[in-house]
Structure 1
Amino acid sequence: MSKRRKWAWTAGILAAAVAAAAVTTAVVSDPLKLPGSHKVEVYAQDDAISGEAPEEPGFLGRTLGMCDADTYYAQDGDRKLCIVLSGPLGEVEASRKDGRVTVEPAEVAKLKAMTGPGTTTLVLMGSGPAALIPVAGLAEGQAVNVRALS
């Protein structure tokens, strides 16, 4: 095999390895993209400064997943949200299937314990906001099943 052909093979294998690493990093950074139950971080939403965005952030903002320097952008159906977080408060097991995020009953008790005075919404975080969980909807012994954010 000629030296030129060896370099071509080496470059091809290296490019494939880099591409595989990039895909793995993208999937692993958001565990809720994988099947099954996974640990995710829980944050409290700061209601005073979170809210709906009039429009989507620009290309750079969307690429970084943010509305501005300390706000995360997410879509809840047709609603465009800028979410400011407080925390992290802890971790729970959650799973995602068919556009819904589910937290099993045993983990709901952990969620309830994480809520502080004035907390109205908890945010499950993967690589970005994955789900909004209203604190008023937490009932011991019952699973939480909410729409996944995109």
Structure 2
Amino acid sequence: MAALVVVVALAGGAAFLRVRDPLAFPGDHEVDVYAVNDGVSTQVSEPPNLFGRLLGRCDADTYYATDGDRHLCLVLNGPLGRVRASRDDGRVKVAKDQIARLQAMAAQDTGTPAPTTTLVLMSGGPAALIPVAGLSDGAAVSVPALG
């Protein structure tokens, strides 16, 4: 009986993670794409307090993410749409057949004074930063996964 409870608990936990962060599992998954609001997003010297980190936020309207040694508080506009992506060996990859979709999303008017320079893939939280300038027709994108 105890073994059954453990199996059910593990399966429930895996299902929760799959729904919360599909990029935690192998293969391609549909993820939301947002634009970084460059004018108000910031880099901070240290992570937010424990409560803020548990919520995945720097404050009420920002998302916390680490990009290497950088601590980021990201204000996002969107969602702009969805693309297929995968995570492998600490990198998030978007296939070349999805690049035109990313370019079109980057060109959308998000209500900010200037066009965005960076797109964010969201998968249970910020999963990857994709520089708009790095999007070129016919080339896949591979960027470091955010922490």
What TM-score do you get using the length of structure 1 for normalisation? 0.87
Superposed CA RMSD: 1.6
Q: CA deviation at 1:115?
A: 1.2
Q: Does 1:134 align with 2:139?
A: no
Cα separation, 1, equivalents of 2:63 and 2:12: 26
Residues in 2 aligned to 1:16 and 1:68: alpha-carbon distance in whole angstroms: 37
Deviations 1:26-78 (A, max 9, x none): 23311111001111000000001101012111111111111011100000000
Query: Number of residues paired by the alignment?
Result: 141
1:17–1:94 distance in 2 versus 1, CA, 3 Å:
same
The residue aligned with 2:90 is 99
Structure with greater Cα Rg: 1
The yes-or-no answer on 1:88 pairing with 2:79 is: yes
- Counterpart of 1:29 in structure 2 is 20
Specify the alignment match of 1:38 in structure 2.
Answer: 29
Partner residue of 2:116? Answer: 119
SS at match of 2:58: strand
Counterpart in the other structure of 1:6: none
Pairing 1:75–2:66 present: yes
Q: Which runs of 5+ in 2 are unaligned?
A: 110-114
TM-score scaled to structure 2, two decimals?
A: 0.89
Amino acid of the structure 2 residue aligned with 1:137: G
What are structure 1's unaligned runs of at least 5 residues?
A: 1-8
Distance 1:19 1:61 in 2: 27
Partners of 1:83 and 1:45 in 2: how far apart? 7
Larger % of helix: which? 1
**Alignment partners' CA distance in 2, 1:26 and 1:53:** 28
Question: In structure 2, the residue corresponding to 1:115 is in which secondary structure?
Answer: helix
